[in-house]
Amino acid sequence: MKESGPVVVTGANGFIGSWLVRTLLEEDYPAIHASIFPGSDASHLLSLPGASSGRIRVFEADLLDADAVGRAVEGCTGVFHVASPCTLEDPKDPERELILPAVQGTLNVLEAARKSGTVRRVVLTSSISAMVPNPDWPSCKVFDESSWTDLDYCQSRQKWYPVSKTLAEKAAWVFAENHGMDIVSILPGTCLGPLMQPGLNASSAVLLQLLQGSSDTQEYHWLGAVHVKDVAKAQVLLFEKASAKGRHLCTNGIYQFGDFAERARRLYPDLPIHRFDSYNKLINLFLLCNFICLFLYCTDHQPLQFIRLPNICIASFSQDPLNPRHIRD
């Protein structure tokens, strides 16, 4: 059921957020509050089809500024919380740069939703990084939404993004239980696809580096490629399906980075894609659920289909790997 009132999207001018705003416009949502980090560029949102009629209002809000977040959420019937810091560089201060904005930012959004009195549901965009790595998961069991990332494992290896996403989602579920709030979470794999925002996002940057010949093994990078369009559609579906509950994985599988690199190398042999020495060892673990697509199910068990491998994204990059801004839908 479509909302008659506005909905808010945090991180609206980011990679996933931009596609979500576009999808909401296409689905005839009448009003969208686009929450963006102060000073960031949201001009591409205002040029989307349907945006010229004034359906998008832009709110500058640092997620750590509770008052600003409250202004963006005020009067909304739904919240799509997408914003969360992510960087390919190792943070100098993980607590300040990643963990605090992710956790406290999420709590500020939820508190604003609670105070509004109008929000009926929050769709929290978590990550596959809040589900894996989990070394203690039974080797004979397919990973599913009951798995949580092993925080000690990640902290010992200074992999702070999975820590931030895991802590943020866990904090959200505690908040929801304490306040009786209707929350559903979506855990996308590595989102790939055409870019709308002016800058290169982290997941696309990983792909670009691979196509340019990077030999970084991404040893602790568990990959599940998913098209960003499918993530946006899934977010809207989770909001509209009243019976949707809990966590929802959105990916085509869970596997190691070396396998993804090998597939890309075979598809585009003319590009300088590195063949990792560890690939032959990883092949025995190849696609823990290789032929088991994990679908986001509706209540009538009709699956929302996801693209298995976003070849169109790789093809777009491969035309000019040094200049990804040419990508078009």
> 206 Cβ partners below 8 Å, 6+ apart?
88, 190, 218, 221
Q: How far apart are alpha carbons 43 and 5 in whole angstroms?
A: 23
Q: Is 170 in the active site?
A: no
Quick one: how far is CA 59 from the chain centroid? 21
Task: Point out the catalytic residue in the list 159, 165, 229, 233.
Answer: 165
Closest to 251 in 3D by CA, of 193, 309, 199, 204 = 309
Q: Could you tell me if 67 and 57 are in contact, meaning their C-beta atoms sit under 8 angstroms apart?
A: no
Q: Residue 281 pairs with which residues in a beta bridge?
A: none
> 44 Cβ partners below 8 Å, 6+ apart?
13, 18, 196, 197, 198
Quick one: how far is CA 163 from the chain centroid? 15
Catalytic residues, by residue number, are 165
